[in-house]
């Protein structure tokens, strides 16, 4: 369990003490990819890499270049963005390691490790893209261990905090025939050719979550829904979202895909879903979303409730 130390991290002296601790570890990221190692290319999963603070060297001359993530059982955990460094400067830390996109391997990792890498990625991305004040254009300075940036112009001094963009993701069910319930899955134009998933979309300004669910389902598939109930949530740092999961009841059944975001959509019964393949498998069958996604959770929880 990671203690984010929300109050303590506001104290710069305390942060310096954490950085100086013997068991301080650092995640290294470059262009949104995390430093990892494949022990064997045929292995089941990559190894998540922490480097010791002594390995950081000249990559971070000041503490403000690091982001404090928190404390776990092993000690302090930081993240360092090396996107601006040339390859030659990274030779010592890269060695037999490489920078890998979490989106490609997150489902292979231990749940806690994947969550920590996602947290690091989100905060590093925000810091890299908020180096100037949105009010006056002056440079911003990192504070609170990278969890806040302050405008350097004393006449402005505006405080900037990491943003989170809410998005809804929903499983739509048809229970017009109670003995044969169905759920709606669709393929987004950005998905692999056989992957089917739940519908999703961003919340518009001044729109409730339930209104977003109903609007997105109708816009993408032409179906009216009601009985919208919250299920679960998942942080989604690609780059700065949180997915809010819902289940909704179909009030109309004729599918009319928008042809832009959604290329195909179908109603599926439980038995059909149980024959789906896994994300990344070879074959001609439809496949389910990745195991680390809330979309997969929504599908599996619906199947379990109706099997």
> Tens digit of pLDDT for each residue in 204-260?
999 999 999 999 999 999 999 999 999 999 999 988 999 999 999 999 999 999 989
Helix segments in 136-292, DSSP class H: 209-221, 270-273
Position 43 scores a pLDDT of: 63
Q: Which domain holds residue 110?
A: 8-129
**Percentage of the chain lying above the pLDDT 70 cut:** 98
HSE of 42, CA atoms in CB hemisphere, 13 A: 0
Find the largest Cα–Cα distance for the chain. Answer: 67
47-103: per-residue pLDDT in tens? 999 898 888 888 887 888 899 999 999 999 999 999 999 888 898 888 889 999 998
One domain for residues 226 and 96? no
Q: What is the CATH number of the domain that holds 57?
A: 3.90.79
User: E-strand spans in 189-269?
Assistant: 199-202, 225-236, 241-250, 262-269
Answer yes or no: do 176 and 43 share one domain: no
pLDDT in tens, 154-163: 999 999 999 9
Q: Which of 83, 104, 129 is the last residue of a domain?
A: 129
Q: Does residue 157 form part of some domain?
A: no
Q: Is residue 155 part of a domain?
A: no
DSSP-assigned letter for residue 124: H
> For residue 23, which of 61, 62, 63, 51 has the smallest C-alpha distance?
51
Q: Is residue 147 part of a domain?
A: no
State the burial class of residue 214 (Cβ atoms within 10 Å of its Cβ: 0-12, 13-18, 19+).
buried
d(CA 82, CA 30): 5
Model pTM?
0.89
């Amino acid at each position: 369990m990671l203690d984010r130390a929300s109050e303590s991290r506001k104290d710069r002296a305390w942060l310096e003490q954490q950085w100086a601790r013997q068991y301080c570890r650092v995640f290294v990221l470059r262009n949104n990819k995390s430093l990892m190692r494949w022990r064997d290319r045929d292995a089941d999963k990559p190894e998540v890499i922490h480097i010791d603070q002594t390995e950081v060297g000249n990559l971070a001359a000041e503490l403000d270049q690091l982001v404090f993530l928190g404390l776990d059982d092993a000690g302090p955990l930081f993240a360092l963005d090396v996107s601006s460094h040339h390859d030659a400067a990274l030779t010592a830390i890269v060695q037999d390691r490489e920078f890998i996109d979490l989106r490609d391997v997150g489902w292979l990792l231990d749940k806690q490790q994947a969550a920590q890498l996602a947290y690091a990625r989100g905060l590093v991305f925000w810091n890299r893209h908020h180096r100037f004040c949105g009010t006056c254009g002056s440079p911003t300075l990192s504070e609170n261990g990278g969890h806040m940036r302050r405008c350097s112009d004393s006449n402005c001094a505006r405080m900037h905090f990491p943003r989170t963009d809410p998005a809804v993701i929903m499983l739509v069910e048809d229970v017009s025939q109670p003995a044969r319930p169905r759920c709606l899955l669709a393929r987004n134009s950005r998905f692999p050719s056989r992957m089917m998933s739940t519908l999703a979309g961003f919340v518009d300004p001044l729109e409730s979550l339930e209104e977003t669910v109903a609007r997105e389902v109708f816009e993408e598939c032409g179906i009216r829904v009601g009985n919208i109930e919250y299920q679960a949530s998942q942080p989604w740092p690609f780059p700065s979202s949180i997915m809010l999961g819902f289940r909704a009841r179909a009030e109309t059944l004729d599918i009319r895909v928008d042809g832009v975001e959604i290329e195909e959509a179908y109603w599926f019964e439980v038995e059909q879903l149980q024959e789906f393949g896994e994300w990344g498998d070879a074959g001609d069958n439809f496949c389910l979303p990745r195991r680390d996604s809330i979309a997969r959770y929504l599908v599996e929880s619906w199947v379990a409730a109706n099997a």
